[in-house]
Amino acid sequence: MSNTSAQKLDSIQNAAQTAFKAASSSKDLYDLKVQFLGKSGSLTEIMKEMASMSKEEKPLFGKKVNEVKQLLEAVYSEAEEALKKNEISAKMAAEELDLTLPGFARSKGSQHPVNMVIEEIFGIMSRLGYSIRTGPLIEKDYYNFEALNIPADHPARDMQDTFFIDKTHVLRTHTSPIQIHSLETEALPLRVIGTGPVFRCDSDISHLPNFHQIEALCVDEKVSMADLKGTISFFVREYFGAGLKTRFRPSFFPFTEPSAEVDCSCPICKGKGCSLCKHTGWIEIGGCGLVNPKVFHAAKIEYPKYQGFAFGFGIERMAIIKYGIEDIRLFPENDVRFLRQFVK
């Protein structure tokens, strides 16, 4: 056996053994296996040297190479097993679940103040025999304007900046079209609350393009301004608290005649004067009046056999006045810090 081949074999064995044991990952280890034991690895290479050996030397060298191969395969398997074990425990440590960690607390939801006001107002009015109606948000021009005595090209249309859908449809600018739907379809006498979102092309610290209204309509025989004032005064006391005064200022709405603007004494300062009531002691809360006979005529209701009153409020405004909220834009923001303040 040539001395140099045997020495080379020894050094391959030593190098491979040391390298296998020092490998730091199963991938590195596998690459080393290819390098030493693979098809064109060091052991295969050294076998080629057998070609120049004598007949006696060949089997001896061949046997030696096989022994080295078996030994290296055993060292490889051992190293591989150790590395895999380490890798699995490292992976398990990294993915460990700490079951003692506190969970994520789910915060309690709360009702939106707009819905709270609707429910509260409806609660008050239902005690007077009113039931609730909603109606479509996209209205025919007829219901939003014409039937409410606001003809096309009439200056009264400018009172409400309108979003038009097409020539004959609008996003309703108020809840008053619900009055017409009820008058057309329901039996008399009638006591209904119309409520929901309304839309106007308007946006600043005290106006939203999408806000909410609530309005009452009462139709019966012999309904007078005294019934209207009595109902609103009752409502104001129930909603804002006992001891508040109500006053009516002459105004104009095409669908009521006579019409009035309703003020109540400021619930925040009780009429003494504060920034909310601009130091007047009074706060405007909505509009009202007796149903205009032209509205009855459009809805084909016999007048003066039947008469009626209506009044309407902005819901955000009712909440602003009751809770002293400074910016109407807080309502659609849905910031939970704002909403949580109303949790009962």
Which residue's entry shows tokens 């096989």?
66
Among all residues, whose Cβ is closest to ligand PHE? 312
Look up residue 318 and give its amino acid: M
| Binding status of residue 149 toward ligand PHE by CB under 6 A | no
| Binding status of residue 288 toward ligand PHE by CB under 6 A | yes
Single out the segment in contact with ligand PHE by CB under 6 A; choices: 35-43, 67-75, 77-85, 309-317.
309-317
99-to-96, 103, 134, 188, 238 alpha-carbon distances in Å: 9, 9, 50, 66, 53
CA-based radius of gyration for the chain:
44
- Say how many residues touch ligand PHE, by CB under 6 A: 11
315-to-117, 141, 196, 207 alpha-carbon distances in Å: 7, 24, 9, 12
| Binding status of residue 311 toward ligand PHE by CB under 6 A | yes
* Binds ligand PHE by CB under 6 A, chosen from 289, 290, 299, 319: 289
Of the two residues 33 and 133, which places its CB atom closer to ligand PHE in the complex? 133
Of the two residues 196 and 312, which places its CB atom closer to ligand PHE in the complex? 312
| Binding status of residue 215 toward ligand PHE by CB under 6 A | yes
* Least CB distance to ligand PHE at residue 243 (A): 26
Look up residue 306 and give its amino acid: Y
* Binds ligand PHE by CB under 6 A, chosen from 133, 172, 174, 229: 174
Both tokens of 249, joined, read: 């200022």
Task: Mark out the alpha helices in 95-224 (DSSP H runs).
Answer: 113-126, 141-144, 177-185
* Binds ligand PHE by CB under 6 A, chosen from 13, 42, 231, 256: 256
Q: How far apart are CA 232 and CA 229, in angstroms?
A: 5
CA dihedral 288, 293, 299, 305 (to 10 degrees): 110
Single out the segment in contact with ligand PHE by CB under 6 A; choices: 9-17, 21-29, 30-38, 304-312.
304-312
* Least CB distance to ligand PHE at residue 158 (A): 12
Burial of 342 per CB tally in 10 Å (0-12, 13-18, 19+)? middle
Single out the segment in contact with ligand PHE by CB under 6 A; choices: 25-33, 47-55, 231-239, 281-289.
281-289
Q: Which residues bind ligand PHE (CB under 6 A)?
A: 174, 176, 215, 253, 256, 287-289, 310-312
